[in-house]
Amino acid sequence: MSTFDKREDAYENKFAHDEELQFKALARAHKLLGLWAAEKLGKSGTAAEDYAKDLVAEGVADHDSKKVVAAVLKEFTAAGVAQSEHQIVRHFEEFRAQALDAVKNG
């Protein structure tokens, strides 16, 4: 195996590792958003955990955080929770930063 091949393998492995970290962080951020949203919706315990798990599943299935945010906004609107899309996105970005830090640091 040439040096070029070894370097190429190293880049591919790093890319795969980085993608895995991003996936785990995104799933964790969706869960944190779900727990936060569940609290705003008056859910606790198992109901809150189930709500968060559903958001994680939706995010993993669609690979689209915008749909997760839209789902939370729809739930908030139906329940009369006063949160704008901007506020939900801001919370999600905070949770994503926390999750990425947690995944990278153990």
Q: What is the dihedral of CA 64, 26, 60, 73, to 10 degrees?
A: -50
Per-residue pLDDT, 17 = 81
Per-residue pLDDT, 32 = 97
Mean pLDDT of 60-85: 92
Q: What percent of the chain has a predicted confidence (pLDDT) above 90?
A: 68
The structure's pTM equals 0.86
Q: Is the pLDDT of residue 85 over 90?
A: yes
C-alpha pair distances (Å), 27 with each of 14, 72, 95, 98: 20, 15, 10, 12
Mean pLDDT of 28-44: 96
Per-residue pLDDT, 18 = 82
Mean pLDDT of 79-85: 96
Mean pLDDT of 37-49: 96
